[in-house]
């Protein structure tokens, strides 16, 4: 790597402070040996942006050396805004450091500098956790079972003070990770009250030096993955009426989220809890989500990979791989920048799973305009609403960067127009939802 010279005795020079900062960043990178170069890359980029249009430096050997350093560091001579990995450890660390004072003010936030020291060790919950009682922040939680498990977190169903009428989900994560709590509070602030139940609630978070415990609402009716699996085991596919209904629900979810500058980042069927209406569903109110239909639908949870676009530069694009098999959007597969595509691709995969009982495989096809488009390999059955499904896959698998609000809205409305134009559709949908509830709740 080229080295910028150390000193100069010239008159005051705006470039000089940059040279010294770059020199220090080079020395830090060399001494640490980690090769990350995050600070160096930003310094080089900012320096070039500052002086590239200044005639004084066009032939200055020092400025040319900075260009060479930048080229060496990036491996490219293209001058573009850096693409950010929103999930990298360094990005998360920087954001949480910046947001720390704000998070501390949120309702339900509790922190301690010490490790969790309850009488029942959290590590013991992984084995035979049923009916153990743990104390968190002055409340006692009776663990009734494990509701989910991942690489860094476990989710448990629990009764508050052993009261079966007050059920919560406890998400215990090591190391501590307050980001998800921040995302839930952003949902509280940005999503309208009549739509808020679609996205889960965090009641409080307890942050310790060795772990974090997120206390959330608990929904007992299973996930969309459970609903899909109930068909897989019988060798059948979900009825098209249900597929259309859940597609509308998901389109509306993403339309709402993306319009609020929020990306979920892990949009898959096991993160979509099923909600059921308290009373009997009616013939009207489906389109408007009114009456009993307001409580019927889906609830999107697990916000650990959530992205708040307002924390990044306007029109920022991201680089980063979710590494979730079957849910890596086309841009991730081709190492291209992405924004909302991480969610809309997930929606397409879920729709494919509902229709075909399998993950989606895509292929690149030539389009009539001379370019190419991406489409699922699986064929649509001729007795389905082929035009609706074809339009959805074509639109969402071939999205250009930028806002997708109008595209999602138009797709949602096309499905809703079909649903609500046929009284027999709503009647059949109601019957299927009653049947599904009985099946999932008895499992």
Which pair of tokens denotes residue 275?
């909600």
348 and 396 Cβ atoms separated by less than 8 Å: yes
Tell how far CA 416 is from the center of its chain: 26
Cα 223 from Cα 244, distance rounded (Å): 17
Cα 44 from Cα 21, distance rounded (Å): 10
**Where does 106-209 have alpha helices with state H?**
179-190
Within 13 Å, how many C-alpha atoms sit on residue 31's CB side? 6
Catalytic residues: 266
| Backbone phi and psi for residue 326, each to the nearest 5 degrees, phi listed first | 90, -10
Which helix H or strand E contains 160, and what residues bound it?
A: strand 153-160
End-to-end CA distance of the chain, in Å? 62
- In three-state secondary structure terms, 241 is helix
Within 13 Å, how many C-alpha atoms sit on residue 213's CB side? 24
Q: Measure the CA dihedral 194/197/198/204, to 10°.
A: 140
Cα 37 from Cα 432, distance rounded (Å): 56
- In three-state secondary structure terms, 211 is coil
329 and 347 Cβ atoms separated by less than 8 Å: no
Which pair of tokens denotes residue 132?
């153990």
């Amino acid at each position: 790597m080229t080295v910028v010279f150390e000193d100069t005795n010239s008159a005051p020079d705006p470039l000089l402070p940059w040279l010294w900062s770059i020199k220090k960043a080079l020395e830090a990178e060399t001494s640490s040996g980690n090769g990350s170069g995050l600070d160096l890359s930003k310094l080089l980029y900012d320096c070039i942006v500052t002086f590239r249009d200044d005639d004084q430096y066009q032939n200055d050997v020092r400025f040319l050396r900075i260009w060479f350093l930048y080229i060496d560091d990036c491996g490219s001579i293209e001058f573009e805004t850096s693409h950010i990995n929103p999930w990298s450890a360094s990005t998360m660390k920087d954001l949480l450091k910046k947001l720390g004072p704000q998070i501390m003010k949120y309702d339900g936030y509790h922190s301690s500098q010490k490790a969790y020291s309850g009488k029942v060790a959290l590590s013991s919950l992984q084995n035979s956790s049923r009916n153990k009682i743990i104390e968190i922040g002055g409340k006692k939680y009776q663990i009734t079972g494990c509701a989910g498990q991942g690489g860094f977190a476990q989710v448990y169903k629990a009764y508050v003070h052993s009261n079966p009428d007050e059920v919560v989900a406890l998400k215990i994560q090591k190391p501590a990770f307050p980001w998800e709590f921040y995302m839930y509070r952003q949902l509280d602030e940005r999503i309208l009250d009549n739509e808020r139940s679609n996205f889960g609630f965090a009641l409080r978070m307890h942050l310790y030096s060795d772990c974090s415990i997120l206390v959330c609402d608990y929904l007992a009716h299973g996930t969309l993955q459970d609903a899909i699996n109930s068909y897989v085991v019988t060798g059948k596919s979900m009825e098209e009426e249900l597929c259309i209904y859940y597609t509308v629900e998901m389109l509306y979810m993403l339309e709402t989220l993306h319009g609020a500058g929020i990306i979920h980042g892990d949009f898959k069927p096991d993160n979509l809890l099923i909600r059921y209406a308290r009373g009997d569903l009616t013939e009207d109110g489906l389109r408007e989500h009114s009456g009993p239909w307001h409580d019927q639908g889906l609830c999107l949870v697990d916000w650990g990979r959530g992205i708040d676009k307002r924390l990044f530069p306007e029109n920022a694009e991201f680089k980063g791989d979710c590494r979730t098999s079957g849910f890596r959007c086309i841009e991730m597969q081709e190492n291209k920048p992405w924004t909302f595509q991480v969610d809309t691709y997930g929606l397409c995969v879920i729709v494919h799973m509902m229709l075909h009982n399998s993950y989606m495989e895509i292929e690149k096809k030539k389009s009539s305009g001379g370019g190419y488009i991406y489409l699922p390999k699986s064929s649509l059955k001729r007795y389905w609403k082929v035009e609706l499904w074809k339009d959805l896959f074509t639109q969402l698998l071939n999205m250009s960067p930028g806002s997708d609000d109008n595209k999602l809205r138009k797709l949602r409305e096309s499905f809703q127009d079909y649903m609500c134009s046929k009284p027999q559709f709503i009647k059949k949908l109601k019957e299927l939802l009653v049947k599904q509830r009985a099946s999932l709740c008895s499992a």
